[in-house]
Amino acid sequence: MSEIKIQIKNLYKIFGKNPKSALEQVKDGVNKDELLEKHNHVLGLKDINLDIKEKSIQVVMGLSGSGKSTLIRHINRLIEPTDGSVVVDDENVLKMNDENLRNFRRTKTAMVFQRFALLPHKTVLENTMFGLHIQNIDEKEANTKARRWIDRVGLSGYEEKYPQHLSGGMQQRVGLARALTNDGEILLMDEAFSALDPLIRKDMQDILLELQDELHKTVVFITHDLDEALKIGDRIAILKDGIMDQEGIPADILLSPKTQYVKDFVEDVNRARVIKAKHIMSELNGQDRDNAMFVDQDDFIDRFIDKVISDKPNCLIVKNKNNDDIGYLSTKRLSEILKR
């Protein structure tokens, strides 16, 4: 449908004294524990292949130690891989020289960090302008841009405060404003909301989704929280011990988990809030329209389930944005999905 923005191919990362020789072992099938025990090397990532679509939010999920933070740092090459390639817009990031890499980081990408990583000696405004200062952009222009994004993330009035005087949620808003002011096409978010309180985290997720609706950046979002992944991800990749277990749209991961690990992960999720009508509809074949209920393809189950219970329709007809019928959903199927 849309273009591939970031293409990660056969990516390996091994930490240790002699990663090249350890790489041979890993390609020969030595697993993580054995590698550590016998060769004293840590397997960070093993044969990762991931195509990230332009203007979408790609979530990478996994528990701590799964290699998700290592993976995101390969996209802007804060970490050098042991083997493989990362191609952004037809350019291999791993082949860039220092100067080109700095330019790539300045203009194409921006990053938001788990523990904010703001500059403690600079004010909110100066922090937000940091990326533009690095590019030697005219002070007046930088100031205008920075103030606009500070306002956009809801921090007007705090321009002259220092990060230490702000709460965690507000500090991460600064982190977000700093990244957005840079105006790169790629936004890398490394557990950006994980250090925040649940309520504030929800606020930040909403801000991100709202901004994404108008900015259409290519976002790579790392998280260990499945609910967060399902809420904001257009696609989700699940990492375990440096290996990618499954990659797909949220509904696929919920409805057909490929491994036991993913199955355990998705077991307790409230499906009604994640699965949309279009994910579970079947093809139309002359369904009876009497006593049918009409639902939008992008509606989550929990938006129409109450009405299904009270109205007791024979079946549900799914409509697209142009109000055409595109599929149907039987109440039996619906209850199967919810019971599982």
Partner 1 sequence: MEKFFLSEFPELSRETLRFIKKGFDASYRAFSREYGDTIEAVFDPVLYFLVWFEKLLQNSPWPIVLICFLAIIYFGSRKISVTIGSLFAFLLIGIFGMWEDTMSTVSIIGVCTLLSIGIGIPVGVLMAKSERAQRICTPILDVMQTMPSFVYLIPVVMLLGIGKIPGLLAVVIYAIPPIIRLTNLGIREVDSEVLEAADAFGANPRQKLFQIQLPLALPTIFAGINQTIMMALAMVVIASMIGVKGLGQPVLKAITNQYFAMGLFNGLAIVALAIIFDRVSQSFGHRIQQHRSGARE
Q: Which residues bind partner 1 (CB under 8 A)?
A: 76, 78, 101-107, 109-111, 113, 115, 117-123, 130-131, 133-135, 160-162, 164-165, 178, 182, 188
Beta bridge partners of 62: none
CB of 142 to partner 1, least distance (A): 13
Residue owning tokens 């009035």: 157
CB of 60 to partner 1, least distance (A): 17
Q: Which is nearer to partner 1, 113 or 265 (CB)?
A: 113
Q: CA of 188: how far to CAs of 22, 220, 289, 314, 329, in Å?
A: 29, 5, 47, 46, 38
Q: Which is nearer to partner 1, 17 or 121 (CB)?
A: 121
Q: Which is nearer to partner 1, 164 or 260 (CB)?
A: 164
CB of 85 to partner 1, least distance (A): 20
CB of 5 to partner 1, least distance (A): 18
**Beta-strand pair 83-88/57-61:** unpaired
CB of 106 to partner 1, least distance (A): 4
Q: Which is nearer to partner 1, 15 or 162 (CB)?
A: 162
Q: Which is nearer to partner 1, 160 or 214 (CB)?
A: 160
Residue 239's φ and ψ, nearest 5 degrees, are -105, 140
Beta bridge partners of 186: 109, 218
CB of 119 to partner 1, least distance (A): 6
Q: Which is nearer to partner 1, 63 or 134 (CB)?
A: 134
Q: Which is nearer to partner 1, 76 or 218 (CB)?
A: 76
CB of 59 to partner 1, least distance (A): 19
